[in-house]
Structure 1
């Protein structure tokens, strides 16, 4: 399907949504554009009829023509004003109710998170962020372009029928508009030239009033210099804009001079025809009226056509996102997620790489995570630990290899059911600015209870935090909505509690779950999580996977995986790995030495 047909189908569907959401208003807008297409021509014809009737001494006909001209003008202005307000209403409503939620669903409901790390996707989201109204408006721009095109064609037909000389007004108007566009381009170019100095001006101003920078400014004494730089940047912006305003004013003056001379000459030629009997006085009146307004008609026609063609700026990314969501969307399968594990999880030749990189984040990894085991994953930064956790959560699709869950391919297991059977705490956890209870309850919306909330808070060592909240569980978190802000460690405890809401996950994923906690809290949380992991392992064969740089925690795992540059280079329990004398022993001894040094 060509791009033109894609855009046409999209514009038609957007108008269909408008008709479904606001049938009366949409019908009025379509009727208004049809009226506007013919009303302008009606004004000119009615005025011609009025003047010719007056010249012929037909008073009744002249009165009727005057009434018709007034009605045509009133219809044009009244309908245009009402349509403008209603059009904005429809664009806002459909944009906020249909388009924006659709964009959010296309992002939030995709089964994987590859798109959130995909530059093409992020660029397009940025292009349409906050512009859902413009997407709807593009459909109305196209309808208006057709309406204004019809209006312009009818106007030219009427002028040409009255006198071919009147068509000379069109090139005069075109020239004036060309000069006007040159003036606008000059102004826009000046804004680009001044942009850097304007950013500097704003930057220096913010520095001078910033609380965080204020201490250093006063100690270093550079405040006056910043003020001088701000003034210099502001003066450069002013000078650039002044030059642009003078230049654009000159362009506009030339354009209006061309239009005025041409307009007056054409009217003079028609007046000569009247004197010769080749045209009527009504033709002159029509030419004067329509000619004076022709500039506005042509400008609006060009503008609406430009708006319609320029809509690709929002339609292209919107179409791309819709097609991407359709390709990568969730597909339900018949393979259920297990409620318990008997054999475990087997990773077979698992390989994955991120877009734009030339090496694998996980490289041909094969290992079995036994049912009921606590598995620790260690390695240097960038070794693939977090990527492995995300593959287990089905947040990425492996490029090759398989993940088998009790013999079933994870790719074939229903994604929604799999996600409901696991719990996870990630290093880059979410900070949901809602109430304390809701922020934790998001961990299990379907089965969350007051008892499970209490248990989750205790498991995350967040009882003390809870007791200090001014409104208890109803306390609003985050300053954006007038609530209390939490420290990094407190936010992480909320995230950890959220990960404890599901009572019996068959897989528990912990990616640096205590990176922001102090040592006592970290110890308490790990003890709680390890007790829970072992209990779940005994009862349902749950597998717990922990990514941690704290080797004191890692040492107690049933199985330790040591990764380097995406590859699994060692595996075993703590004693086996220490005896082998490989990378694990090296990292463990470095960690131990750093803690001993810190304690001296």
Structure 2
């Protein structure tokens, strides 16, 4: 009973999605539905009048005209319905995808974006179909309207048959629904098997993107990996579909059950009215009406495309409901402190779900107001994770981060981020103008063309140049040029009131000359703002007020460059290791 109620709630949820299709579209669908429900039983009745008239020799012009009119109306409804259904599907799908985007963007942190379960739900909610069928909430909603019409039409047609043979009508209706239930259960079980393999399907998509995308195109061709990538994609596809193919063969071998039920029902539909007519209990017209009505009842046993649309697409609706159940209200809090703040990490630890050890483990660190702080360490030591904690994109597993004595968790996230300007190592390259790529760092502010042009002059001549390699009239930039534009983005944000600047590997793509000018032009150009600089190039962090070395998620050394060199610890070893490369090259020259 509980399962029946759950299915009923799902079907009602599908019908509610029609609100996204618009009032006019829904009204047209309702009118077409009324035609679809009435056509089948009316045809069965009109056939009786037509045949009786023909047998008795009475005029039969009006039954022919009525029969033709109903058939023409039903056919026209089906043709118009295809166009209206397509419009409704697109409108509903667009509305659902918008809801998925809002749910994805709503949380103030990014923890959910790194959760495989969330990605599975989002993929199902926005799934538009990857094989012969359309798997979308719009298709499911429209399919629910169609199946409702078919069911009501079948019941009405069974009512026509029941006026002559009530038991036969109930039997044919029951058998037809049983056949439908068996087929639906078999094929929907197949779909559940495919759903369970969603992570494997994402691997297929990944290898397909690698094969066709421009990002990996250079390596694939230089290394001669085209065949290997195709084989990996094919292997991933087989891994995804292997269980499905086995179960599908098993289902096909079991089709004798439905075939036997259909044969028995057809025999009853022919035998019972036929014997009655043979014994004079039915006229020829009534016999014809019963046969047409029986055929109408049989129609519900056929799994039309709308049935698959519903059962494939309702998983989208279920996934959407699951996403909404995970939804968290936008976090609010106290306003962020004004001015340049002091930031303290007190015993901060952070562990990614499923990882055996924390990335950060009891970090105690103070970032003084206006201080130039550098954070160094080998890859995987937790540097970028610390930045994401500072930006409020992650919440500490334990410990706390204080901003002028206020816990960062208690601050309004948006207000705090308007105090930050962060240049991530994997910064976004927006396919927009140079102006937009700079000003999006402080979208609430406005800047003059002269100000923006001054920041971008080393990269582009015109700030309205579109930075998009596939766009008409656009151009792409080199890695170093993009890095300079990202640095200009930071400088613009500081000029609009950002008081804490975080730079994660800001010189990774810069040449030696640009790196040498980095501190003078960038660090020296942010005024009184605090600066957190992360870099593997220790020459870049050397002028910092204080350098912090992270190792195994902990602060193991801190001090100025000269102090750390005098300690002759890990930092000194790493610095000499990097410096020796240049010294050796200089000696060789």
Residues in 1 aligned to 2:164 and 2:533: alpha-carbon distance in whole angstroms: 86
Cα separation, 2, equivalents of 1:99 and 1:182 = 27
Which residue of 2 is the match for residue 571 of structure 1? 558
Match of 2:137 among 115, 135, 148: 135
Aligned equivalents of 2:566, 2:174: Cα separation in 1: 91
**How has the CA–CA distance of structure 1 residues 179 and 137 changed in structure 2, closer, same or farther, with 3 Å as cutoff?**
closer
After TM superposition, list the pairs within 5 Å mapping 1:31-46 onto structure 2. 31-46=31-46
Q: Does 1:289 align with 2:295?
A: no
- Alpha-carbon distance between aligned partners in 1 of 2:128 and 2:324, rounded to the nearest angstrom: 15
Which range moves more in the overlay, 432-441 or 288-297?
288-297
Unmatched segments (≥5 aa) in structure 1? 228-245
Q: Does the aligned pair in 2 maintain the 1:338–1:506 contact within 8 Å? A: no
Q: Which of the residues 535, 538, 545 maps onto 1:551?
A: 538
Residue 475 (structure 1) aligns with: 465
Task: Check whether the contact 2:158–2:294 (CA below 8 A) recurs between aligned residues.
Answer: no
Aligned residue among 336, 349, 352 for 1:351: 349
Aligned equivalent of 1:113, options 107, 110, 114: 110
Q: 1:529-579 deviations in whole A, cap 9, x for unaligned?
A: 22124xx22xxxx21101011111212111211111211122222222222
Is 415-424 or 160-169 further displaced after alignment?
A: 160-169
State how 1:193-592 maps to structure 2 within 5 Å: 263=266, 266-267=269-270, 270-292=273-295, 294-300=297-303, 304-325=306-327, 327=328, 329-333=329-333, 335-341=334-340, 344-445=342-443, 446-457=445-456, 463=458, 465-467=459-461, 472-482=462-472, 483-502=474-493, 503=495, 504-533=497-526, 536-537=527-528, 542-592=529-579
**Deviation of 1:107 (Å):** 2.2
Cα–Cα, structure 1 residues 214 and 275, in superposed 2: closer, same or farther, change >3 Å?
same
Greater share of helix: 1
Alignment partner of 1:90 is 2:88: yes
Residues 371, 530 of structure 2: 8 Å contact kept: yes
Query: Hey, what's the Cα distance between the residues in 2 that align with 1:340 and 1:449?
Result: 24
1:49 CA displacement: 2.6
Deviation per CA, 1:472-502, whole angstroms, max 9, x where unpaired? 3222222233432322222222222222222
Question: What residue in structure 2 maps to residue 232 of structure 1?
Answer: none
The residue number in structure 1 matching 2:70 is 72
CA contact (8 A) 1:182 1:251 kept: no
**After superposition, what is the alpha-carbon deviation per residue over 1:277-324, rounded to whole angstroms, capped at 9, x for unaligned?**
111211222244344555544315x65455434433212222222233
Q: What is the DSSP-based 3-state SS (H/G/I as helix, E as strand, rest coil) of the residue aligned with 2:355?
A: coil
Q: Distance in 1 between matches of 2:62 and 2:402?
A: 86
Shift, 1:71, TM fit: 3.0
SS at match of 2:547: strand
Secondary structure, in 3 states, of the residue corresponding to 1:480?
coil
Aligned residues: 546
Deviations 1:47-85 (A, max 9, x none): 1132234444543xx443333333332332222221221
Q: Give deviations 1:177-214, integer Å, cap 9, x for gaps.
A: 899999999x99xx9xxx99xx9xx99xx89xx99767
CA RMSD of aligned residues (A): 4.3
- Residues 477 and 484, structure 1, Cα contact 8 Å, conserved in 2: yes
* Cα deviation, residue 267, structure 1: 3.2
Shift of 1:370: 0.8
SS of 1:500's partner is helix
Please, what TM-score do these two structures have when normalized by structure 2? 0.80
Distance 1:524 1:320, change over 3 A: farther
Go from structure 1 to structure 2 and tell me whether the alpha carbon gap of 1:505 and 1:213 turns closer, same or farther (over 3 Å shift): closer
Q: How far 1:128 sits from its partner (Å)?
A: 3.5
Counterpart residue number, 1:27: 27
2:241 is matched with: none
Paired residue for 2:157?
155
Return the offset for 1:361: 1.6
Alpha-carbon offset, residue 431 of structure 1:
1.4
| Secondary structure, counterpart of 1:448 in structure 2 | coil
Aligned partners of 2:259, 2:288: CA distance in 1, in Å? 21
On the 8 A contact 2:336/2:412 being kept in 1, the answer is yes
Contact preservation (8 Å) 1:29, 1:83: yes
Q: Following the alignment from structure 2 to structure 1, what is the Cα–Cα distance between the partners of residues 418 and 456?
A: 20
